[in-house]
Amino acid sequence: KSSTNIKTEDKNLSSKKMTESYKEYVNATCLFLNKETKTLISSATEGSLQSNLSVLAIINRVKSFMKTSITYNENPGSISEDEDFAQWFFEDKKTGYDVQYAAAAVMMFRYYGIPSRYVEGYLVTPEDIKDKNPGDTIEVPGKNGHAWTEIYMDGLGWVPVEMTPEYYNVMEEAD
């Protein structure tokens, strides 16, 4: 058997390189928007792209857009295979539920230069675990299926951000 001796400094350097490599990967894959989508978002937001905004200001701007410009509807209709989602959501329908809100928010965060991704999973609320003890099993019904957006922040990693107005204040959000 062969063994490898790695000095502590090398491990730290390797970790730093891995972090930088991951950041490069995130920026290469989680910022992409095609030109047509950028134009649609610019039109929908009335060209409100400002480079001097903080991440919190951008989160609030996207939330405000979703709350005031889009109608929550659990039956928004379907999008045809040849139709562009951004066109359908930002210009044509302007309606949807968590899936559409999360997907559109990903596009908007990317428009503002914040790496983002779409996530699906189950929402377990404080109400779902009320009267439960550590180690208890809970049943999570299918109706708890949910979609949300995550943004990438240096030094923190992926941070969930709720963009569907119907779900605001259901869970505590990160500061």
SS3 sequence, 81-116? CCCCHHHHHHHHHCEECHHHHHHHHHHHHHHCCCCE
Instruction: Give the list of residues 6+ apart from residue 112 with CB closer than 8 angstroms, or none.
Output: 49, 53, 58, 61, 62
Q: What is the pLDDT of residues 133-150, one digit of tens each?
A: 999 999 888 999 999 999
Q: Is 110 exposed, middle or buried (0-12, 13-18, 19+ CB in 10 A)?
A: buried
Instruction: Give the list of residues 6+ apart from residue 82 with CB closer than 8 angstroms, or none.
Output: none
pLDDT for residue 153? 94
What's the rounded Cα separation, in Å, for the pair 23 and 28? 8
- Looking at every residue in the chain, the average pLDDT score rounds to 87
Continuous segment of H or E residues that includes residue 150: strand 145-153
116 within 8 A of 110, measured Cβ to Cβ:
yes
pLDDT for residue 77? 86
Look at the block and give the residue holding tokens 């928010």.
105
- Give backbone dihedrals phi and psi of 120, rounded to 5 degrees, phi first: -125, 145
| N residues, the chain | 175
pLDDT for residue 104? 96
What's the rounded Cα separation, in Å, for the pair 149 and 135? 29
Read off the pLDDT band of 14 (50, 70, 90): confident
pLDDT for residue 12? 59
118 within 8 A of 106, measured Cβ to Cβ:
yes
β-bridge mates for residue 119, sequence order: 148
For residue 7, pLDDT over 80 is answered with no
Continuous segment of H or E residues that includes residue 22: helix 8-29
